[in-house]
Amino acid sequence: MKESQPSAIYLKDYTAPPFLIDKTELSFDLDESTTVVTSRLHMRRNPVFGASTVPLVLDGGPDVKLIGVAMDDYELPQEEYRVVDDQLIITATADSFVLTCETLIEPQNNTRLEGLYRSSSMFCTQCEAEGFRHITYYLDRPDVMSVFTTTIIADETRYPVMLSNGNEVERGKTDEGKTVVVWHDPFPKPAYLFALVAGDLAVKNDVFITQSQREVTLQIFTESHNIDKVDYAMEALKRSMRWDEETYGREYDLDIFMIVAVDDFNMGAMENKGLNIFNSSCLLASPETTTDDAYLRVEAIVAHEYFHNWSGNRVTCRDWFQLSLKEGFTVFRDQTFSADMHSATVKRVEDVSFLRTAQFAEDAGPMAHPVRPASFIEISNFYTLTVYEKGAEIVRMIHTLLGEEKFRAGSDLYFDRHDGQAVTCDDFVAAMQDASGVDLSQFKRWYSQAGTPKLSVTDAFDQALGKYCVTIKQDTPATPGQPTKLPLHIPVRIGLLDANGQSLSSSLDGATSEEHVLHLTDAEQSFEFTGLATRPVPSLLRGFSAPVKLDYNYSSQDLLLLMSSDSDGFNRWSAAQQLAVNELSQLITQAIKGETLAIESQLVHGFKALLADASLDPAMVALVLTLPNQAYLSEISTPIYPAEIKQARVYLKTLLAEALSADFERIYQQHRVTEEYQAVAEDIAHRSLKNVALSYWAEASSERAQQAVFEQFSTADNMTDQFAALSIAVHSQHNQAADMLAAFYEQWKTEPLVVNKWLMLSASQDNANALSIVKGLMAHPAFDLKNPNKVRSVLGGFGQNVAGFHKEDGSGYQFLADQIIVLNKRNPQIASRLCTPLTRWKKLKPELSAKMKSELERILAEDLSKDVYEVITKSLA
């Protein structure tokens, strides 16, 4: 452990910056050994402070070497400045001045992948959230916005492409023959949006004509061997630009928009002004190497980063507590975009399924925090599912409460009012409220209160009066630092069905309709529907109108009815999931008691009917057929028995497979796509249903199914089908699984992104020797500890490996802890993210819980980065 422990910073302590930087002039002399950075900062005291004497404090980093400081060209002697705890402090300053700093950095030794670093043969940057301070001393906070001019000096033979934000304004040569390129970005921005790239890159060019007829140059840069994989991203970019004009009235503002793909990147992608930088796994796509899911992810992330140009860049965050201001809103925007491009219901099911699995688990664990956190030790730890996904749900609820038109008026007002400013979540809600007249004062609690609310619903029917009464109780569980909770304003969309599944019209508070939005604002509240002849079946929380857990005592019969007939597609899926959860819960209980598993499954009937109905959207059928996964079942269990959950899932899946084997075979044959591969909704839908059917069919004892898996693997002309077959083989213990895995690697060993999929699948194999397999993978030539994608593939795959990770002797936990300890020094952000599975220790069954806890304690004894320290101490608290 360290002598002094890192401490938290608090939202309540926010104060405006004492100094501002109107102009930032940077110069980078790029070199293989040391890079010299010279900055000229045009600074002045912030008038809101009045006449003040506070010293100037600039943020730096441990690897930034200060060569010299000058104030208005007067070189400061050593006694006029000091560097303490990575901060440069200058006591005496004028009211306005130009500060010049010269610093040295070594990008080639930067393994944190924050600031300026090398990936393959190029230089690139990552500055969000606090990476800029690893480049030079600066006021590295988002409310300091500045106009940047960037000079890049490099050897043109090695770095013919030299990019930064904005427009290229000058190009020339130094006396030594190096090339000099100057970029200027006219839009003031915080340092976290700064970017620089230099390398030998290929480019794909295109053009977009904006709604006001301006021509924008579009460029995507990659290493030359990847340039044939950017067409899909380019089309997705143009669709995003058009959509943002049509849906939000937002037009692109510079004359050029650039995207660069890099292999080594901690996150998915980054919205730097005019120069987005992407993890290559989120940009590159080709039919042979990319699955349907990955295609859709590329489209969504290209859109997400593009949308940040308004929600994030033109209007940015005042401080990092407000991160969801840009992220929650932008996720909502990209979700809506994808829904518009493909099937809205399918998209909603996928998003909710992810939210309920991963975000709910986070919100119930030791790292639970409000969408607008009140404190943090390391901001990098707060790029969370809560800030992103729950943040998007908050915006979606505002959309539900206001309706389409008023929501648009609210977003127009927000962009208009705050263009060029750094603002807060309160400002966002205020704009929505002011433009709509809808009172959002109680609603705002969603930003400050952590934990997933639980709604307990009961009902009663009065036959004589034709009156149906629904009573809803809301309750949010305690979370760390928040022992008691207040009632939230929760929109609950509801419809009523008769016994044949027909939609019923009913009256609520004078409004007659087939669907109502209930405004739940009290701890307990009743709603009366009139005009009903018979007792209805309620379809509750349609479209998942709020991020809550719903408890209503549905009978299996009700669930089958909703599953087959509800007009709300989302709730049809949700009912099937609930039915599966009910059956799986029974089986899990039997497994825990050591009983023989046995069940009279109602799902068999539901699935049978589903498979017989050719009128349904195949993508929805595929989703309904997909059983709740291990992670979701773990989230809803206390305590978690990993092996028993797995046993129950395998049992139910096999039971359904045997009972419906002929149906699955038929569906498999019917949904084969014979045309050339295209990543379009219709084909994706057929492939997904076909592959789900194959995954069931392969669980039935059928020689033909085994043959079909092998054949699909060997003959597929696209990665979706090939990888689906391979995964099915691995997870169904196909007798040729090992050979297929080996053949797959041979076929794809020169495609790193495909190799990552191979690493992940190999690491997740359910096998008594799982741990030694994983150790073998980490020693494999295809592995590279420097590359976050590879680390995530292997250790992420292992985390899903029930037999390996949750092995009774604790060896899986010990192994993960060892890797965290190694990565803590090299790349704290990645190390911290790897801790996530260990943060669930309190919920595990006692024997495993104790073993996990002791690994957390072992990690804590190390000299930890702030990132890992925060997660480990909060987990043990």
Pick out residues in 354-393 that bind ligand PHE (CB under 6 A).
Answer: 383
DSSP string, 415-437: HHHHTT-EE-HHHHHHHHHHHH-
Asked if 25 and 55 touch (Cβ cutoff 8 Å), the reply is no
Q: Is 322 helix (H, G, I), strand (E, B) or coil?
A: helix
Taking the complex as a whole, how short is the minimal distance between the CB of residue 115 and Zn ion, in angstroms?
Answer: 19
Does 270 participate in binding ligand PHE (rule CB under 6 A)? Answer: yes
* 185 interacts with, out of ligand PHE, Zn ion, none, CB within 5 to 8 A per kind: none
Taking the complex as a whole, how short is the minimal distance between the CB of residue 391 and Zn ion, in angstroms?
Answer: 10
Instruction: List helix spans (H) across 700-787.
Output: 703-715, 719-731, 737-748, 752-763, 770-779
Residue 128 or 185 having the CB closest to ligand PHE: 128
Partnered with residue 154 across adjacent β-strands are 179
Residue 593, both tokens:
């008691």
* 635 interacts with, out of ligand PHE, Zn ion, none, CB within 5 to 8 A per kind: none
> Which helix (H) or strand (E) element contains residue 700?
none
User: Contacts with ligand PHE: how many residues (CB under 6 A)?
Assistant: 12
Residue 128 or 583 having the CB closest to ligand PHE: 128
Taking the complex as a whole, how short is the minimal distance between the CB of residue 270 and ligand PHE, in angstroms?
Answer: 4
Residue 131 or 606 having the CB closest to ligand PHE: 131
Residue 113 or 492 having the CB closest to ligand PHE: 113
* 128 interacts with, out of Zn ion, ligand PHE, none, CB within 5 to 8 A per kind: ligand PHE
Residue 112 or 489 having the CB closest to ligand PHE: 112
Residue 240 or 601 having the CB closest to Zn ion: 240
Output the residue with the shortest Cβ distance to ligand PHE.
267
Among 267, 300, 346, 361, binds ligand PHE (CB under 6 A): 267
* Binding mask of the shown chain, residues 567 to 606, with x at each position contacting ligand PHE by CB under 6 A: ----------------------------------------
Cα separation of 239 and 208, whole Å?
10
Asked if 330 and 307 touch (Cβ cutoff 8 Å), the reply is yes
Burial status of residue 715 (CB atoms within 10 A of its CB: 0-12, 13-18, 19 or more): exposed
Residue 24 or 380 having the CB closest to ligand PHE: 380
The DSSP code for 274 is T
Does 126 participate in binding ligand PHE (rule CB under 6 A)? Answer: yes
Active site positions, annotated: 305
* Binding mask of the shown chain, residues 74 to 113, with x at each position contacting ligand PHE by CB under 6 A: ----------------------------------------
* Binding mask of the shown chain, residues 583 to 622, with x at each position contacting Zn ion by CB under 5 A: ----------------------------------------
- The span of 37-45, 262-270, 389-397, 690-698 binding ligand PHE (CB under 6 A) equals 262-270
Segment 846-850 long-range contacts (CB within 8 Å, at least 24 positions apart):
846/639, 847/808, 848/642, 848/806, 848/808, 848/810, 848/813, 849/639
* CA of residue 495 relative to chain centroid, distance: 31
Asked if 643 and 806 touch (Cβ cutoff 8 Å), the reply is yes
* 267 interacts with, out of Zn ion, ligand PHE, none, CB within 5 to 8 A per kind: ligand PHE
Pick out residues in 296-315 that bind ligand PHE (CB under 6 A).
Answer: 304-305, 308
* 270 interacts with, out of ligand PHE, Zn ion, none, CB within 5 to 8 A per kind: ligand PHE
Pick out residues in 306-335 that bind Zn ion (CB under 5 A).
Answer: 327, 330
Does 128 participate in binding ligand PHE (rule CB under 6 A)? Answer: yes
Chain position carrying tokens 């890049």: 152
- The span of 79-87, 98-106, 126-134, 503-511 binding ligand PHE (CB under 6 A) equals 126-134
* Pair type for strands 454-462 and 549-551: parallel
DSSP string, 356-399: IIIIHHHHTSTT---SS-SEES-GGGG--HIIIIIHHHHHHHHH
Sheet (strand 202-209) strand order = 202-209, 215-222, 256-262, 275-279, 269-270
Taking the complex as a whole, how short is the minimal distance between the CB of residue 201 and ligand PHE, in angstroms?
Answer: 20
* 383 interacts with, out of Zn ion, ligand PHE, none, CB within 5 to 8 A per kind: ligand PHE
Q: Is the peptide bond before 639 cis (omega within 30 degrees of 0)?
A: yes
Among 59, 140, 327, 665, binds ligand PHE (CB under 6 A): 327
Q: Is 772 helix (H, G, I), strand (E, B) or coil?
A: helix
Cα separation of 133 and 135, whole Å?
5
Cα separation of 266 and 85, whole Å?
25
> Which helix (H) or strand (E) element contains residue 185?
strand 179-189
Q: Where are the beta strands (DSSP E) in 269-388?
A: 269-270, 275-279, 316-317, 375-376
Taking the complex as a whole, how short is the minimal distance between the CB of residue 337 and ligand PHE, in angstroms?
Answer: 14
Asked if 454 and 520 touch (Cβ cutoff 8 Å), the reply is no
Residue 271 or 558 having the CB closest to ligand PHE: 271
Backbone angles phi, psi at 827, to 5 degrees: -145, 90
Residue 312 or 451 having the CB closest to Zn ion: 312
Q: Interface residues with Zn ion (CB under 5 A)?
A: 327, 330
Q: Interface residues with ligand PHE (CB under 6 A)?
A: 126, 128-129, 267, 269-271, 304-305, 308, 327, 383
